[in-house]
Structure 1
Amino acid sequence: MTLIETHPEDTSRTRPGGLFTGYRLGGLTLPNRVVMAPMTRARAAAGGLATPSMATYYAQRATAGLIVSEGVQPSLIGQSNPGTPGLYTDEQVASWRPVTDAVHANGGRIFAQIMHGGRVSHPDTTGLVPVGPSAVPAAGEVFTPTGPQAAPVPRVLEAGEVPEHARSYASAARRAVDAGFDGVELHGANGYLISQFLSSNANLRTDRYGGSVAHRVRFAVEAVEATIDAVGAARTGIRLSPGGTFWGVEEKGVPELYTVLLGELARLEPAYVHLEATTDDEVLVALRRAWPGTLIMNPVLPLGPARTGRADAVRWLGLGAELISFGRSFIANPDLVERLRGGLPLETEDAATYYQGGDTGYVTYSSYRHAG
């Protein structure tokens, strides 16, 4: 177990904007500033259906100010990993309703993260050749039903096809709202399709979707704009990983790229931008200043050695973030908010159970038990 250290100078319980104070996000009133970050758990049933265990898993964590679900594919060709859920069929929508009902019954709020994998996929997973902005494969191996395999060369999206894939986020968002989600977060981070268009080495296009910074941000902006048109700005957020190198993406001129992107997003007024700590603090703080809306900050590198703790949260609240997302700490600590509030010890999750399926390491972690 990892002990959470408390500090006398930590005033996050009581000061305005503290971690355990309420916050108005779009049409929602959050009871605290703790966000459960999206995490792939690969527990969906055949056909990309949500399951009763998923309802239990998210309902157990409903004390978070906001839950952002695992990545949900907006189409079959958008599926990245085996065992992930979708939001592109009526059956998938129906399967999600018990999940959102369970979260709401426990007093929670939940956004669906809409994730189009782009080139980070494999025909063995979807039966389709993955698509991407250019014919550049992802670095490394991708997950398939028979184990890791080399990432294939994606089929290049023709200029006339690109808007269709931008609109797929909006279509999934409509279905998410039908399924009872309070809103959606577009996955614009970590080397997936939006991130691929932002990239300077995955996107080698010379048309209106590639080349200059203004062109490279266009796909992200069109996806957000379409989603806002579909479900409203108050129900739309986006996650970004400035300077991140997941799946081999690179981004030249990170400060300029994201300043331009945030400027374009600002005119659309989405509910929030969710940043990952994938570049240095100087750049992140500058982006905080450039973004006039709500910022969710994920203070540590995703899948890095550190877990976000209370000290990280307090520090970033001081740097101007309104909400703080916690990832892996939520896996083994369904009552993470209460543990953070009380300075209670945190359990460590079993990494071997991340993606293996089944309930073990998924819904089997318990809340803190006080000594009798």
Structure 2
Amino acid sequence: MNRDVLFNTFKLGNDLTLSNRIVMAPMNRSMADDDLVPTEAMVEYYGRRADTGLIITESLMISPSAMGYPNTPAIFTPAQIAGWKKVTRKVHENGGRIFAQIWHTGRVSHPIYLKGEQPLAPSAVALTGRVPRTDDLQYGMPREMTEAEIRQMIGDFAQAAANAREAGFDGVEVHAANGYLLDQFLHWDTNRRTDDWGGSEENMARILFEVLDAAKREIGQVGLRISPAAYIHLEHDARDKAVSDHVLQRLDQYDLAYVHTGMFEDSYQEHLAGTVTQYIRRHYSGTVIACGGYSVNSGREALASGDADLIAIGRPLIANPDFVARVRAEQPLTTYNPEMLNELV
């Protein structure tokens, strides 16, 4: 055992040993090319951070209908798969492990990204606010998905997992957090269906478990990111906690690589009686990744207390490509500032 808990190794699943407990959190940078293929700069960006125990990529679109931001990378064409092969090869050459986070934005999109079509969503409930990276475009009304479209989307997640395996990833993380499509099914504000995909905890969670099952058939290691607290792109509803309770209790019987906290700040939530990670830990006995504003010291505390098994670090890893080496050597860290988002270093 290392005297610094951050640098203890960790067994993830049956066949992966991580060199330390530090995870690179998924951070969308919108720096793929116009065909949504990762660039050579992205190859170097991920390769320089391979000394983290695990890298989780920025979100990869599973299909054209998943797009909600400009130049976010995807994994549904041969060129995109080939581009990600370069990334995984570089990370593995540098001794790292890397998972692909796969997602669909759902209603957090706009027809400008979808060839004029309405965004897909569990229910026709509009998201208010300005579309990021535009001057004045506002979100509009999405279209409620049909049964056939739900089945197609589950298939798209499965194909994305298969494509990730082909691209050389060590696993995938299913993105069911932050108010995007799968998360929209898990919250009453955005899921007002009365069919088999809504109206009860079991029905609201159905799509998540079908996606997990489909992904697990395609790639050995599958993790999950969830947001039990509706804090972005969603309105809180007191009934949501029962849905999250149901999801975590079922997940405790699943053979997942991990469950990952989907929060910008992992803060105390009164209705969860603790931080979001503490709530997840109470209901889920598998591997937990804490994420959301953790520093080196607060990360150590979460590991030492047993709240989490791994700590995901975001912005400090943008500012410090050599974050792990600096922490190990007890050297000062460069402070993150938003201008750093415009460059891949």
1:14 paired to 2:3: yes
Instruction: State yes or no: 1:193 paired with 2:201.
Output: no
Contact kept, 8 Å, 1:243 with 1:279, in 2: the verdict is no
Residue 176 of structure 1: how far off its partner (Å)? 0.8
Q: Distance in 2 between matches of 1:247 and 1:84?
A: 18
Q: Which residue of 2 aligns with 1:134?
A: 123
Question: Equivalent residue of 2:182, what SS?
Answer: helix
- Mapped to 1, the partners of 2:159 and 2:54 lie a distance apart of 22
- Counterpart in the other structure of 2:252: 266
Partner of 1:29: 17
- Secondary structure (helix, strand or coil) at the match of 1:320 reads coil
Please tell me the residue identity of whatever aligns with 1:32: N
Q: Tell whether the 8 Å contact from 1:82 to 1:143 is kept in structure 2 after alignment.
A: no
Superposed CA RMSD: 1.8
1:83 alignment partner in structure 2: 71
Match of 2:203 among 208, 215, 229: 215
Assess if the C-alpha contact under 8 Å between 1:67 and 1:110 holds in 2. yes
- Aligned equivalent of 1:312, options 298, 304, 312: 298
SS of the aligned residue for 2:289 comes to strand
Amino acid at match of 2:226: L
TM-score by length of 2: 0.92
Q: What residue number does 1:367 align with?
A: none
The Cα shift of 1:148 comes to: 5.0
Counterpart CA distance in 1 for 2:275 and 2:48 is 36
Q: Which whole-Å CA distance do the structure 2 matches of 1:249 and 1:75 have between them?
A: 26
1:362 matches 2:328: no
- Greater Cα offset, 65-74 or 89-98: 89-98
Q: Equivalent residue for 2:320?
A: 333
Structure 1 segments (4+ residues) deviating >4 Å? none
Structural mapping, 1:1-372, within 5 Å = 13-14=2-3, 18-26=5-13, 27-127=15-115, 128-143=117-132, 146-147=134-135, 149-232=137-220, 235-276=221-262, 277=266, 280=269, 281=274, 284-298=277-291, 300=292, 307-317=293-303, 318-354=305-341, 356=342, 361-363=343-345
Of 60-69 and 126-135, deviating more is 126-135
Q: Which runs of 5+ in 2 are unaligned?
A: none
The answer on whether the counterparts of 2:267 and 2:276 sit within 8 Å (CA) in structure 1 is no
Deviation of residue 247 (structure 1)? 1.4
Range that drifts further, 175-184 or 243-252: 243-252
In structure 1, how many angstroms separate the alpha carbons of the residues matched to 2:184 and 2:323?
33
CA distance in 1, matches of 2:26, 2:79: 22
> SS of 2:147's equivalent?
coil
Structure 2 counterpart SS, 1:168? helix
Moved more, 276-285 or 62-71: 276-285
> What displacement does 1:315 show?
1.9
Alpha-carbon spacing, 1:161–1:33, altered in 2? closer, same or farther (3 Å) = same
| Amino acid corresponding to residue 345 of structure 1 in structure 2 | P
Shift of 1:312: 1.3
The 8 Å contact of residues 273 and 294 in structure 1, kept in 2 or not, is answered as yes
| Paired-residue identity, % | 39
Cα offset for 1:284?
A: 3.8
In the TM superposition, what whole-angstrom CA distance separates every residue of 1:71-97 from its partner, at most 9, and x where no partner exists?
000000011111101111111101111
Structure 1 residues 282 and 255 mapped into 2: Cα distance closer, same or farther (>3 Å)? farther
SS in 1 for 2:81: helix
Q: Per-residue displacement from partner, 1:74-131 (whole Å, max 9, x unpaired)?
A: 0000111111011111111011111111111111111011010001111112313210
